[in-house]
Chain A
Amino acid sequence: MSESAAAFQIELTVNGHRRAIEVAVHHTLLDVLRDDLGLTGAKECCLVGECGACTVILDGRTVDSCLVLAVEADGSEITTVEGLADERGLGPLQQAFLDKGAVQCGFCIPGQLLSAHALLADNPHPSLPEIQEGLAGNLCRCGCYRQITDAVLATAERAER
């Protein structure tokens, strides 16, 4: 049956770690990641799903975490930018972003990386227009778009066909 309360107990698997946490029902996944779990890689900017700074991967797909209530994510697997590197170091996309000069101020980069990551998971060898379309939901005001798409292309080229 349905539940109804101002606070709600949920379980999330964040970057491979199971987390049980009580959340307010009106708090978004972005609020909970940043304020309750201390994962500040997801950024807060427009809060209307336009800029993509808060992008995370939820059950394999990118979402704007500002437009997902934390309770909706109950039972989900979430990848944030903090989950892209491991003890061996940066992932290939992260390194390509640095090599290609895709990072200026860096504020949009967590979201860009997660969108790129999900795009390549779905489509390992995307065309340039597919990359541009796939990353259009992540605004970069420094205007690194060409370098970002270069980094995604380079990562795809290095991946096995």
Chain B
Amino acid sequence: MHTFAYARPTLLAEAVALLEAHGPDARLLAGGTDLIIRLRDGSARPGVVIDIKRIAELRPSIREEAGCLVIGAGTVMTDIAADERVRRSYPALAEAAAVVGSVQIRNRATLAGNVCNASPAADTAPALLVHAARVVAVGPAGTRRIPIDGFFVRSGVTTLARGEIVTAIELPPPDRAMGAVHLRRTRRRGHDLASVTLCCGVDATGVTRIAYGSVGPRPVLAVDESGVLADPTAPGAAKEAIFERLFADASPSPRSMRASPDYRLAMLRVLGARALRIAIDRLAQA
């Protein structure tokens, strides 16, 4: 691993100032489960690594604010997967957090880090899209809230501006009852990168939100407001037509060695149908 300058700010403002000063030459270090691999293999060669774990404002926390559930940037997957409020109101997010890597990875990896890496295969992204999460970012110009669907650009690229740091992920109040589930495809049952990762949420008004990743350059959100998908009595052909529309943005890379495009596209449909059934069941039980 090449060497670098290591900064360990304790105040958010210091981190913002460092990030603004160094721009792309700086990398934020939260859990490190992606960054340290990249530092070692040389695909990231920052001059400055800014460790954000000692910043008071970013300490691990899951708190309720104005009806929202706010997950602090330092919060790790283990704590998200175990949190009663997340499990109750955003179960798909808890399920997604519970399958990110192994226990050791989940003990370090943060939700904010997972989001900021903007990996198309990020398992938490579909759940955040279905739940219409917002990314809270603080930068030189102050604080702004970015709807998660407007955050991802492509692998490794987000709409964060220079000097901006994600401080939290906000989940809006679960004002309408929703049944939601996260499903994925992997090459083995033990931990693995997903070849398809998908979340489906059906709410009490009949709206179905499906988000999926690992089938294109960024995770995709698609919504069916017609109520057809959520209606167990709707004809199969009608549902299939809607699924085709919802999955139209999937464009898996033929270069990937994890799965071929045709398999991913087929599995997207299998997972979509399975997730829809589970989501409807969960809504009924809610």
Contact = CB atoms under 8 A, between A and B. Distances in A.
Q: Do chains A and B touch in the complex (CB under 8 A)?
A: yes
Interface of A: 1-6, 8, 24-28, 47-50, 52, 55, 58, 61-64, 66-69, 71-72, 115, 118-119, 133-134, 136-138
Given A4-B7, A26-B1, A64 B48 contact: no
Contacts of A27: 1
A49 B49 contact: no
Contact of A3 (B8, B37, B101): B8
21 contacts: A2-B9, A2-B50, A6-B3, A6-B5, A26-B2, A47-B40, A50-B191, A52-B104, A55-B104, A63-B104, A64-B104, A64-B105, A68-B32, A68-B36, A68-B108, A69-B49, A72-B51, A72-B53, A119-B103, A133-B103, A137-B104
A138 to B, nearest CB: 8
B14 interface: yes
A138 B101 CA distance: 11
Interface residues of B, number: 34
Contacts of B49: 25, 69
Contact of A26 (B4, B18, B37, B104): B4
A136 B50 CA distance: 31
A155 to B, nearest CB: 17
B12 to A, nearest CB: 12
Contacts of A115: 103-104
A56 to B, nearest CB: 9
Nearest to B78: A61
